[in-house]
Structure 1
């Protein structure tokens, strides 16, 4: 018998928090609901979860700041933002922080469950399919995917879960065209406009991390995707 997926919900709205936590339990998820973001952070640091659902607009600490704090100690924990804010800049900010999804209020409970189930099933399948050896020498760098660490000489860059998955995907397809749709469907779970914008943000992150080795290049193929090169001629 497979264990239940364990979710932490950080939502300060009493009515919505109660409704979502009870509905998710009814759908056979194990749920811990925290109303205070600081308490939510402490709970995340002391327990293991498969997914975090974070409200964006909360007192004391907003969801964006909370996500940054989570990333310092639990970079592998995927998270979804819930928000009443619909500005494109907010959506892109959420994805740039590593969000795996972004749902606008009022929340459709059935849609939320479908998205969570699809996301967690994909993550579980990805882990089962992941080869035993998932570490890579990348030019002067070394990627230890199991711990989400990128090494350059004596420096260590701690990657987020999505940065790690993206770099591993690119490194395993060195000098091949990695199409936008293939990357998005594999890592984001959906090929759409906002996820494509998020992908571009993460490519920028990786380029910055890898800039110390000039032999590495993530080449943009307009309208198609990216080619990850470790040796190229200008």
Structure 2
């Protein structure tokens, strides 16, 4: 079986060497020392997953992720950073990252997160060729797009998976643990905060529809509710 290809951007030589050596036992890893080098490598090669430091010379991880998301909404992006502030983690997710590990991190935890994305790539959550209609919105699950008359919004894969999960269970309560486990493969504390960010994004996308809301059932979960 062809090995999973990882683009890894990290300017700290010691961390990069240790991490790359550990991951290369299972994966094909391309290491870049700055964001510009990583973006060039991404443009010229095919990768299955990206792992980025945030504080890098020439182009930081946030800018790198934003540039990649302009051309590819599907590839998983994991941030590894010493930036521990909540606002930094939220900013990372808003740039399109799928996960965020705080330094110092364990290789075992990083590998577990990578394996979650591998399982997702082998068994896609999205049901292709499925079109959903929500009042005036059309959600194309295959192409990750939501269209409202003449406006088209392109979702990330994680956003599309979450929206489809809600639509497949419309008017039903989805427990937080179920959503986290289904989409991330885990239900730890930080992923719970990540889920809240994605819920906020979907609420903004659905805000033009008066009869569609995502309700928060405190301590339980969420429900996409149609008032019609």
Q: TM-score, normalised by structure 2?
A: 0.91
Please tell me whether residue 48 in structure 1 is matched to residue 52 in structure 2: no
Residues 174 and 222 in structure 2, CA contact (< 8 A), matched pair in contact too: yes
C-alpha change, 1:227 and 1:114, in structure 2 (3 Å) is closer
Aligned position for 1:68: 66
Aligned position for 2:2: 3
- The secondary structure found in structure 2 opposite 1:102 is strand
The Cα shift of 1:207 comes to 1.1
Please list, as runs of the form range in 1=range in 2, the aligned pairs for 1:24-35 lying within 5 A after superposition: 24-26=23-25, 28-35=26-33
Residues 7 and 31 in structure 2, CA contact (< 8 A), matched pair in contact too: yes
The Cα shift of 1:130 comes to 4.6
Residues 45 and 73 in structure 1, CA contact (< 8 A), matched pair in contact too: no
Distance of 1:116 and 1:13 partners within structure 2 = 21
Distance of 1:200 and 1:107 partners within structure 2 = 23
Q: TM-score, normalised by structure 1?
A: 0.89
**Structure 1 stretch 41-50 or stretch 157-166: which is displaced more?**
41-50
Q: Which runs of 4+ in 1 moved over 6 A?
A: none
Please list, as runs of the form range in 1=range in 2, the aligned pairs for 1:81-100 lying within 5 A after superposition: 81-100=79-98
- The secondary structure found in structure 2 opposite 1:156 is strand
Give unmatched runs, 5+ long, in structure 2. none
Aligned position for 1:78: 76
Distance of 1:9 and 1:120 partners within structure 2 = 15
Residues 54 and 62 in structure 2, CA contact (< 8 A), matched pair in contact too: yes
Distance of 2:79 and 2:107 partners within structure 1 = 14
Distance of 1:90 and 1:132 partners within structure 2 = 34
Q: Aligned-pair RMSD on alpha carbons?
A: 1.8
Please tell me whether residue 193 in structure 1 is matched to residue 189 in structure 2: yes
